[in-house]
Amino acid sequence: MKILLLITALGLTFLPAAKATPQAGSPMRVDGTNHYVHGNTLSEQARATLDEWKEYEGQSGAGSSANSKGYYVELEIKANRLFITNMTVDAYTEAKDFHQMIVPLYTIFGSEGPVHASWFTGHLTEYLGPFEGYTHWSRNQRRYHFDKGILIDIEDFTEMPGGEQAGAGYPPQGVGSPDP
């Protein structure tokens, strides 16, 4: 019993040093350049529809530890609006082994792409490096803030120990008056 307690205590000692698999970022095209951002961009309804589609396609169990949200999207900002231009999921078949399967945007959103992410209010984070251990996380970050799919702010900052932030946001060109 003492040996088991010792092993448990040693394991808990090293647990904080354990690192998770780095998460795959979503490419987001901004002014012709890809930025890799992290965040969940689907609405609850779209997520439920995607889960149903994956079940129908026999891919509900396929996944990757580098993709905890269960899907990959390609994004683009045009006229300060966030669009989903492509979506894939991890898949497995005997013929192809593990691969990414294209998700028809029409099936999830009811229209062909690009799809304006008008439901999305929140932020997407770009980690600018250097990265902390074996993760995708960095103290140096850029956050793209959206309100109903409209870019309202871009914030560069350095996360300090204790979660404090140093840095300031700046408005992107044309924020508040997206082109139709």
Cis link prior to 27 (omega < 30° from 0)? no
Q: Which residues pair with 6 in a beta bridge?
A: none
Alpha helices in the chain (DSSP H): 2-14, 44-56, 105-109
Q: pLDDT band for position 42 (50/70/90)?
A: confident
As a whole number of angstroms, the distance between CA 3 and CA 169 comes to: 53
Rounded distance between C-alpha atoms, residue 153 and residue 159, angstroms = 18
- Residue 118: pLDDT band with limits 50, 70, 90: very high
- Coil, helix or strand for 71? coil
pLDDT of residue 22: 60
pLDDT(137) > 70: no
Model confidence pLDDT, tens digit, residues 69-92: 677 889 999 999 999 999 888 777
Domain boundaries, the chain: 23-170
Q: What is the mean pLDDT of the chain?
A: 74
Query: Where in 3-66 does DSSP place strands (E)?
Result: 26-30, 33-38
Asked if pLDDT for residue 47 goes beyond 50, the answer is yes
- Encoded tokens for 38: 């992290």
Residue 140's pLDDT is what? 82
3-state secondary structure of 38: strand
- Mean pLDDT, rounded, for 23-48: 84
